[in-house]
Amino acid sequence: MTKDMTQTGWNFDNSYVRLPEIYYTRQNPTPVHAPRLVVLNHSLAHSLGLKVEYLQSEDGVAVFAGNRIPEGAEPLAQAYAGHQFGHFTKLGDGRAILIGEHITPKGDRVDIQLKGPGRTPYSRGGDGRAALGPMLREYIISEAMHALGIPTTRSLAVVSTGEKVIRENDLPGAILTRVAASHLRVGTFEYAVRWGSKEELKTLADYAIERHYPEISDDESKYLLFLKAVIKRQASLVSKWQLVGFIHGVMNTDNMTISGETIDYGPCAFMDTFDLATVFSSIDREGRYAYGNQPYMALWNLTRLAESLVPLLDENQDQAIKMAEEALGEFGKLYQSHWLAGMRAKLGIFNEEDEDETLIKELLDLMQEHKADYTNTFKALTLGKLEDNVLFGKAEFDDWHAKWQSRLNRQEESKESSRELMRKNNPGVIPRNHRVEEALEAAVEGDFTVMEKLLHILSNPYEYSAEQAAYCTLPEPSGLPYRTYCGT
């Protein structure tokens, strides 16, 4: 163990840099003027085996700012492509640099990436920088997702840079340190099949399998099994998004990971009023990535992955396409199975009956018709406190409620067991959009206490504590819809 590892905890072993050079460009961050630590994720740092005292020191902050390269790191910008709102384009890390891969005390390999560390060869005219507000948004939402039990990249730290970035206005600059199982994307494979050789595509696929699905690495059908494994993980992931009302906002193929983690918290948000057509992103003018469309968009993205893998599936292209189509055909069943299981749990149902899907749909239809809050409706059902819910007193809801109670009575488990199941699957609190904005506005002005309190509240969403109550209220009515922005 080197002296640097002993003092800092950093333990780099970089495998991506050993891939063919078409997949990256070696690139150091551009130093910033006056970095200052804004927020540090202590629990994540401990789990990574990093020394918190060092991370808070001048040298530690210099690493987060890109001003210092830790021992063993090999900074690079990754190349990839992507379908952005359906249109294919060549991309790459335009404002991100992978510092290296850190090995945790448990032996897990994770990417350590800086977002906003300056220009790269893939910046396409951009400045490579990031603003404080969007970086703190990613920190808040990614940590909330982690607390909700949803696979996600995580945020280790945010530093302010002491510099301004120019967007519509001059904004305070910042750099976020992101931790991910990897940054391999559907778009990485699209890039490989478009600009690489078949051998380079095969090398990438072998690397992805070894890193994320090593159990299939020796199978003669490993590329098909790889496709099926990614489909399976994404079906599970998107079902979890739907179950908590999370709207990603920019489900381009470069924002879908091979690992099955949620990535890129740009124009994301959580739904208040239940509506399948909910869109928050300012750039999604046609509703392509609306809440109700997310499962279909996941399948669309996975189809692009399958197309990229066709050359590896079988020497006979027709046979390869048939294999890919059969694998993709499983997505709908996998997604529906995960979603139904999750919805049953949200309603305290332990076993399966054919009519359950109808029961669930009837409730969601009522919520949409009467503009009921998604999270608070399930919370009210969990607590048995329906008085303040907009559905209370509606005859059709009373009929539904009677059906639901009858359904619960037909299972062996007690009502108390059902209630406990519901508590574990219905968060008492989510990152309400107005609360997130409140925290970001205060932070940009230099007051980080609002964000710290919000992060504390969101760290245990299933606690149902009294202090959560103030964070469950809805925003004041507004004539303008809530809009999120990608922050680039």
Burial of 269 (0-12, 13-18, 19+ CB in 10 A): buried
- Integer angstrom CA distances of residue 392 from 344, 381, 388: 21, 11, 7
- Nearest CA among 107, 124, 128, 112 for reference residue 60: 112
Alpha-carbon distance of 198 to 309, in angstroms, equals: 10
Residue 185 gets which letter from DSSP? B
CA–CA separation, 406 vs 319, rounded Å? 50
To the nearest 10 degrees (0 to 180), the angle between helices 356-369 and 331-346 is 70
Per-residue burial over 73-106, b if 16 or more Cβ lie within 10 Å, else e, is: bbbbbbbbbbbbeeeeeebbbbbbbbbbbbbeee
Three-class DSSP category at 246: strand
CA–CA separation, 26 and 74 (whole Å):
8
Q: Which of 236, 239, 189, 237 is nearest to 209 (CA)?
A: 189
Distance CA 245, CA 375 (A): 8
Cα–Cα distance measured from residue 335 to residue 449, given in angstroms and rounded to the nearest whole number: 39
CA dist., res. 97 & res. 305, Å (int):
24
Catalytic residues: 254
